[in-house]
Structure 1
């Protein structure tokens, strides 16, 4: 591929086609185009290819403007609500249930990506985007109106489904409209708002808390998000109609033909609803109980906790058996042929461990640690923890540009895993009560640089191992494993936090204050109240020591679980990205011209 330059978003749009990587070169072309193990291309993919053939330069620019506006809105919302969630749960006297909120988010985030990718493949990209916006808005409204922590936690189902659905669909859209050499750069587009929102989000969140109107920190986005979705929605809608007028748009399958039983069977098979149920139930039953052991009579020995985890484990074993059956899953949620790819498996595992470590080190309790032990203000604590987002975003953009011109990604994955490990190690070194702000910020910069070098390149490697027909599924599986890692990390950190903090407070607090251990544990405002528990007092020493020791345990576990990232990076193949063909049709950023270009042997694609 020639060294073309991106000038705006245009002039480099060309038709591209070809086949996937990481499969034997002897595989016949018609078999290599199979997307989901069924031997056919689903209607949503055909519709997107038809739309891609109608893109104009400015139409595609407008579509990417829409992607950026949605990304900016959701990024700002995430930064604002991150600063508010501790106070929202504390208002219900349930600060410790932050981990449960994050686990619910993680479970929904984990299980919704493959179904949403499947919906986009079956019904279309616009339809899937619209569903996500509706779910997002419902979640916002329910959180804003919640009267108790149970309602607030339940709202995470709608919120997380909409949020993570938009995340996967944005990445699928980028994959639909860019070639591999440029994809890392454009995949970073939804992250660029963090360069701004990282610094203003916590300030806005602090203002909501100071005004005692934290509910509006959630409710306001129910108005803003649908508005910023309009540019992308209109672009997809108008180009879809244009494709129909040009005869490019395929006739969509009519799922309502043949009676009620046939309708149910069609939808069941096309979406693999059985697989969705198995995957969703298994992760929910395994992960959520892990943070509820403290509040459940009997704790880890509770028959209920044990039964839930066992049943979840059994369903997780059944899931691949279901997916491997042509009769039960004619259109499997996750194409099992992807599992034959070493790069795909290693890349997904990297995503898992990356977020697992993140949710043991930076999220969700480092923020509380800064508020209580380091005596940081709400904006300052937010800025320190969000330094990770800023550093990782800048790094991912720089790395993406380097990938564009080097045509390789593996070097960055390996280097990033080493820097990420170093950053977490530095968090242990500077986890002291007298650590200065510069040291705390420095650790987050190191972790952020490592994360920025890991996430996007690893995702790119996973996508390089799939055809265009498998792109949505491959991306969904990668992001699913990322979310599962986050959910597991939240579950582990929540279990440790809820076990250690109360017991340490009861042990370290003076006897006359021991009955207050539950109140201190349950409300971060009480724990950080230096007027009631002044510096140097026995109570303050006990509180800070409890937080310090618990945070040390979390970081030690994080370092151990960070080590596999380095080993996994060596397993990924070092593809030459401009030599990998994926069968993308229509106009894409930086593509090769010609629908019938010579297929590139995968053996030529890695070094």
Structure 2
């Protein structure tokens, strides 16, 4: 396996030394001023000096084990949401819950990257796992849609925290040429869990309830995280014994000073503004059209107005050095056209995806296409499988060619083609094969887009900004998810119920609201009956409108790909990691690590 990933060795420490003015020619692709390194970055660079080949492979084995757990969890628990919300009588709120989750995915990534930079990678992993466990305990115990939605906040915070921290860890321990390949490791489990997930989910629903389906992951994930946490903790202790770790901020500033500094370092005010902006704008879109005249509700209008004000105020707040000395989102990174284009691609990528595949595609397959639970689950997860396979293959090509841009450009075209065919075949009478082929094309385009675009964003920033750039890219994905969920939620709530009232036979029209609110009820009518045909037609016409929105959202991706810089990933002067990493940095690995170690010790002594 080592032969697949090139030689194990460190990168040049000199390549990561950027002058205060940020104008070092070795970072001329960026033109971004480098910030002072925070404690978490200093910690991980110190830990990088203590990695052995064995301990680093153990850490990656831990990443794979943790990813297997979270992957199987995501492939099963999404099945339960339709049943949980239908049990509460709120199936139509699927998109609202998806928005809440998407907003949390968006707002948690930057502060989680901040936690990793301010406190350390190990501490951030522990914090994310704790949030994940709390979320699943709450989901399993929820007895109302309000508690369920609140639990999604904790779950989404922990889940997305693990996602970004895995990618930050990969960026810390690989050079640019190998990073795309290693970035695919957390996605590898999708190759097998995508098929096992629906079976496990169906077995849980058959043998017990959706509550245990959620609750069991509060036990499984912490156990699976032990190898990675153990490797990080052991090497942190090694770095501490060698005196390589930075001094404690509590000892430096006192407990009160530490709290104040942490408040500003985490940009708590910026986090609140960002969260309020997304929640107050997007959530009302799925609630406002549930009943005639609901948009006249002044509270919903007030929410959107306040959200708009927060959204306008957010970038001004973040760009103020006095109000946000350590901004939540490093908007200065957007001065670089590659970072800007990459983050916009991420927004439109998930915006289109969440108007077509999630959150209503599964319900559509069960109701309108009359698929079984297992069959519908497998069709929905075809995207995950295909995108994982294609991203792994593309990662090898990136390593071989040393370039990523070609694949991003191709991915944009394939992505649009997939959505176009989905629009063509999302009609009554389409076969399972036609629907699966559409999902394969969309997944293929997604695999070409996601990992290479993220690599492009990371390639043009110094090490201090790698976590921030990764957070910016992944946050853009989540913003796209939230916007896409809001659009499809608005389409769903505006169109489905009126269409049911129009098409249902007269004797079933009094049941229209119940059918609209519970997809289990909608799928219970006999196949071919007048009521079922009317329900299927309402579902199909509503899905068609969502797919039109998906195609429109995917079009800008093609144009944005041309603005990304075609970076030569083989250029050693662009490498933005320190210490012992996976990469092709030459035969004198131990000598370079020793040189970096002595440099750190000298700086510690001077301090």
Number of residue pairs matched? 589
- The answer for the alignment partner of 1:592 in structure 2 is 585
- Contact 2:22/2:33 (8 A) holds in 1: no
- Contact 1:17/1:581 (8 A) holds in 2: no
Q: CA deviation at 1:227?
A: 0.5
Match runs of 1:313-332 below 5 Å: 313-332=308-327
- The answer for the alignment partner of 1:98 in structure 2 is 94
Partner deviation per Cα, 1:454-481 (whole Å, 9 max, x = no partner): 0000000000121110000000010001
Q: CA deviation at 1:519?
A: 0.7
Q: CA deviation at 1:258?
A: 4.3
Match runs of 1:320-469 below 5 Å: 320-469=315-464
SS in structure 2 at match of 1:588: strand
Distance 1:358 1:81 in 2: 19
Deviates more, 1:350-359 or 1:505-514: 505-514
Change in Cα spacing, 1:300 to 1:271, as seen in structure 2 (3 Å) is same
SS in structure 2 at match of 1:542: helix
SS in structure 1 at match of 2:10: strand
- The answer for the alignment partner of 2:183 in structure 1 is 187
Change in Cα spacing, 1:35 to 1:147, as seen in structure 2 (3 Å) is farther
- The answer for the alignment partner of 2:470 in structure 1 is 475
- Contact 1:104/1:157 (8 A) holds in 2: yes
**More helix, by proportion:** 2
- Contact 1:285/1:308 (8 A) holds in 2: yes
- The answer for the alignment partner of 1:126 in structure 2 is 122
SS in structure 1 at match of 2:246: coil
Alignment equivalent of 2:112, drawn from 110, 113, 116 = 116
Alignment equivalent of 1:152, drawn from 126, 148, 152 = 148
Partner deviation per Cα, 1:575-594 (whole Å, 9 max, x = no partner): 11111524421011114255
Distance 1:15 1:398 in 2: 25
SS in structure 1 at match of 2:355: helix
- Contact 2:95/2:486 (8 A) holds in 1: yes
Distance 2:160 2:60 in 1: 18
Distance 2:112 2:45 in 1: 18
Match runs of 1:218-367 below 5 Å: 218-254=214-250, 257-258=253-254, 260=256, 262-295=257-290, 298-367=293-362
Distance 1:438 1:31 in 2: 48
Distance 2:481 2:251 in 1: 36
CA RMSD of aligned residues (A): 2.5
Match runs of 1:495-534 below 5 Å: 495-531=490-526, 534=527
Partner deviation per Cα, 1:169-192 (whole Å, 9 max, x = no partner): 000000000011100000011111
Q: CA deviation at 1:30?
A: 12
Change in Cα spacing, 1:314 to 1:248, as seen in structure 2 (3 Å) is same
- Contact 1:21/1:465 (8 A) holds in 2: no
- Contact 2:525/2:531 (8 A) holds in 1: no
- The answer for the alignment partner of 2:600 in structure 1 is none
Q: CA deviation at 1:82?
A: 1.4
Distance 2:219 2:400 in 1: 41
Alignment equivalent of 2:566, drawn from 547, 559, 574 = 574
Distance 2:31 2:100 in 1: 30
Change in Cα spacing, 1:198 to 1:22, as seen in structure 2 (3 Å) is farther
Q: CA deviation at 1:499?
A: 1.2
Q: CA deviation at 1:129?
A: 0.3
Distance 1:38 1:269 in 2: 18
Distance 1:18 1:556 in 2: 51
Q: Answer yes or no: is 1:55 the counterpart of 2:54.
A: no
Change in Cα spacing, 1:186 to 1:21, as seen in structure 2 (3 Å) is farther
Alignment equivalent of 1:560, drawn from 545, 548, 552 = 552
**Moved runs in structure 1, 4+ residues, more than 4 A?**
8-11, 18-26, 28-39, 593-597
**Structure 1 length-normalised TM:** 0.93
- The answer for the alignment partner of 2:604 in structure 1 is none
Distance 2:320 2:93 in 1: 40
